[in-house]
Structure 1
């Protein structure tokens, strides 16, 4: 068995219940036990580098926490065959105040040092603002120039814009995440600080291009959950989830994610280490100071509830459903996952599409007493799915609702991806023709703006087509019905994660005209299925309740004429 004392102690404390870990870190340790430690024929810990790093950090900076020592072992985990690093990307996602910047400082200073021993191993720290980018850099600058640290000043030439090792000629610099003004160099390591603020991959594309020119290239993605959705953070987070769930091979990326498993744990102080390992007892001086700070912020929520969102997101590293903005809570969405009642009455048809170059959703709305069943099917253009969801990539055979696993949904019969430059409207027409044969649909509701091409084709097939001239004008009218339907579990979507994804991508905005159902993100987070549902609800009053034929006959037989 492969052994390192810091890894072994961390795992022992987990098994013995001495440390509180969230689900994702427990999965990480399970992967390590299953895939790494039993394979000394494949991997080895460079114990000299691990000890050198820890001793260097604790001599010149501060005592490292257990989680930092644990991760450091995998920074210096190598393949036996060729001495290459096993993990060249580290995703470290923990609550604010956990010491992420200090960890970066110690790593950056060590990487350029003679102890690391790789010449020209340049390190760049990248952040959204110069102030953030300079944070870890300035910590190194101050430590090197601190009175009494003459040994460091003999090793490093430290200016306020760069730090250079005299012996290795390795350079440490800070940079902002403006991709248009940056060029990839020959970095040995790139550290993306507060990467949750990155909207896309552009800056990573620039800097990752310089890796590989020196040995043991590494990237570090350090951050806390933020408010930018569908940015680069979500991409790395979903990749980390897939690794931890065994969907992607455990190598290359090392995901260390600390977060609450449930929002109720926010009110239990003993659960706070799930979100921030620096709060794990016994607390050192830094930990005690952090705990008091977090507790103070928590207590303020009692009379400053507006601060809840920031506290939950930043301190507890948890994304909480915003009931005021989301069209439905997570529990309400789950409640739509019920079998349809018998669909034996004539439905209302509806359709919506944002563009003939991406998605188009068709649907049928049925009613039984207070419940509504919505049966839907979606068409999507292959090029759009390739660009935004990696449809043709073999790794997209799996996924979660967040990842939009188009291929999986297609295999489940919820949608069809067509390889066309723009959607042939006959796909939609033919679907409704099939549904008429099965369910008797005659009337179809759609946005007037989208009916230029489809209306004559549908009417030629004998359908009654009703156009909604301004869909936004019906949203305030339907908002009470939509809210009541979700809150009281009146809506049924069946086993259709695609429809729940559409719905989860909608938020409610209060305007002077009333509530509007809008997209949370303009491009990737599609809402076509939900908008088709809203169109159908507009004419839900015309629906007849589904009738239980057997019950009706029994009732008639019981009548005494």
Structure 2
């Protein structure tokens, strides 16, 4: 049985209920007690641990129990060979948990005479130079503020060198040109969520082992790249914690919420950010206040929820495919239309195929809200097949009728069913010609595929037509406006169950780069044409003025001069 005061301190804080841990850290403690602390062939270099902690607290900042705990395992060795037990350290915490600050302390100490290993060079690697310099710049500035440290280290804007050990601390970008032949003692990989593969990592660690003892540090917060390097690291971490890999394959310190539902209890936030555990330092209290403010802002701006969950709570919402709005928000579009006669509007068109559905409509601006008048066309053969349009009394088809009551929506005037081989573009053109008698249609918008057959007849009818070449590119651009609009009741669809159905069928797909696209929850029966048309209108709605010139002229004529 091996013991270290700082390791035991942290374990006791959890067992006594003074701090909250997520499942991964609970597994870590159980795994350490069973597979590591119970061994007789290991030892903590307590002198080195004390020196590192004192170095950090003298020149940097007071260290928290979890930081002292992490430092202890950097200096865990085999007794016989004096090799480090953990070569790889994986620290994953929510934004603001001080990962860069702690790595600054550790790397600065490792090149110092207190560590005492000559030419123990260290590289800090990240995708961008700015991120790679974060910890380097902190050490650079600490040296600049201290006369004694200036006497012990030489510093330039590109490297810090220990005068006694000739050990060098550098920063590098992961996509640099030449990395072969490096003779580092340790390498730090920062913001590992951005790495799509281990290709660059392999290059940087290829020189490790030439200088003993070799160490690798992988630090960061979760991100949006799925099935990349970070996900592989997390899989490896879980294998270690479950005893399915060799005990020293990785030291995994993972801090995150266990479940999305825990977000609403502020006491759970320390699961993702151990800096928030009580008693809080002045820095930790300021950090908590910032996170609380961001959390409260989500009520008015829910578009930031994914970012908040991913970066602050270190828990990417694993189901990245979700509805565009809550059903209550979709229901809230059932507002009466204001008086829109004579007002400017944007005409919109969307249809996935001229063989099933087509949606067209008019989008307005009115007193800060966005009224949307829409009508759809559907082919009879398609709605017969998938929604049992013609089979009124067939009990076997009841499920299809309930899924989308096409005939009911047609009777309400939201839809026209056409018994045609394909939807004739003339119906769409006629719709806009009719509506232009009552509203001022500034232009008609659709994407490149849909407008191929409609652009010429619409222009012949006198309409200005705009073609969106890449409609998916505007989805991410408009996502904040869409989410805020639903959250604040800014969209007016009237009592239109078809439009509510379209909207509820939309699936928000978050891509690897964090951008959003609007797709279908199911490719055939769940149509989204009306919603996609609505989004096209939002793309150009700022070109519409809320000012009604007809009303202004009427008011002038009524004045008695």
TM-score bin, normalised by smaller chain: 0.5 to 0.7
**Is contact 1:509–1:516 with CA below 8 Å preserved after alignment?**
no
Residues 33-112 of structure 1 mapped to structure 2, 5 A cutoff: 33-39=33-39, 41-112=40-111
Q: Cα RMSD over matched residues? A: 3.2
Task: Extract unaligned runs of 5+ from structure 2.
Answer: 325-395, 401-500, 527-561
SS in 2 for 1:138: helix
Q: Shift of the alpha carbon at 1:289? A: 1.1
Q: Is 1:274 paired with 2:247?
A: no
Following the alignment from structure 2 to structure 1, what is the Cα–Cα distance between the partners of residues 163 and 50? Answer: 22
User: What does residue 259 of structure 2 align with?
Assistant: 262
State the alpha-carbon separation in 2 of the partners of residues 510 and 244 from structure 1.
Answer: 36
With normalisation by structure 1, the TM-score equals: 0.59
Q: Distance in 1 between matches of 2:185 and 2:31?
A: 27
Shift of 1:184: 4.4
Q: CA deviation at 1:247?
A: 1.5
- The structural deviation recorded for 1:293 is 0.9
2:6 maps to 1:9: no
The structure 1 segments of at least 4 consecutive aligned residues displaced by more than 6 Å after TM superposition are: 367-371, 533-537
After superposition, the C-alpha distances for 1:444-497 in whole angstroms (9 at most, x for unaligned) are xxxxxxxxxxxxxxxxxxxxxxxxxxxxxxxxxxxx99x98x9xxxxxxxxxxx
Residue 31 (1) aligns with residue 31 (2) = yes
Q: Summarize the Cα distance change of 1:260–1:201 in structure 2 as closer, same or farther, 3 Å threshold.
A: same
Distance, in Å, in 2 between the alignment partners of 1:368 and 1:166 is 84
Q: Alpha carbons of 1:80 and 1:308: their partners in 2 closer, same or farther (altered >3 Å)? A: same
The answer as to whether partners of 1:74 and 1:87 remain within 8 angstroms in 2 is yes
**Structure 1 unaligned blocks of 5 or more:** 328-366, 372-479, 487-503, 518-532, 538-561
Q: Distance in 2 between matches of 1:316 and 1:165?
A: 38
Give per-residue Cα distances to partners, 1:535-554, cap 9 Å, x unaligned: 999xxxxxxxxxxxxxxxxx
1:120 aligns to what? Answer: 119
* 2:103/2:135 contact within 8 Å kept: yes
Query: What do residues 219-262 of structure 1 show as CA deviations (whole Å, max 9, x unaligned)?
Result: 00000001111111111011111111221122131000000001
Q: Give the Cα separation in 1 of the matches to 2:107 and 2:397.
A: 64
- Give the secondary-structure state (helix, strand or coil) at the position aligned to 1:37: coil
Q: 1 CA distance for matches of 2:5 and 2:126?
A: 33
Structure 2 residue 19 is matched with structure 1 residue 19: yes
Report the alpha carbon displacement of residue 150 of structure 1 after superposing the two structures with TM: 1.4
Match 1:198 to one of 195, 199, 208: 195
What's the offset of the Cα at 1:516?
A: 5.6
Task: Tell me if structure 2 keeps the 8 A contact 1:242–1:248.
Answer: yes
Shift of 1:35: 1.3
Contact 2:31/2:242 (8 A) holds in 1: no
How far apart, in 1, do the equivalents of 2:128 and 2:83 lie?
33
| Counterparts of residues 445-460 of structure 1 (less than 5 Å) | none
> Structure 2 CA distance, aligned partners of 1:205 and 1:83?
25
- The Cα shift of 1:534 comes to 7.4
Shift of 1:322: 4.7
1:326 CA displacement: 8.4
Deviations 1:413-463 (A, max 9, x none): xxxxxxxxxxxxxxxxxxxxxxxxxxxxxxxxxxxxxxxxxxxxxxxxxxx
Q: Hey, what's the Cα distance between the residues in 2 that align with 1:117 and 1:302? A: 53
Partner residue, 1:319: 316
What residue in structure 2 maps to residue 492 of structure 1? none
1:178 aligns with 2:199: no
Taking structure 2 as the reference length, what is the TM-score of the superposition?
Answer: 0.59
Q: Distance in 2 between matches of 1:232 and 1:68?
A: 25
Count of residue correspondences: 355
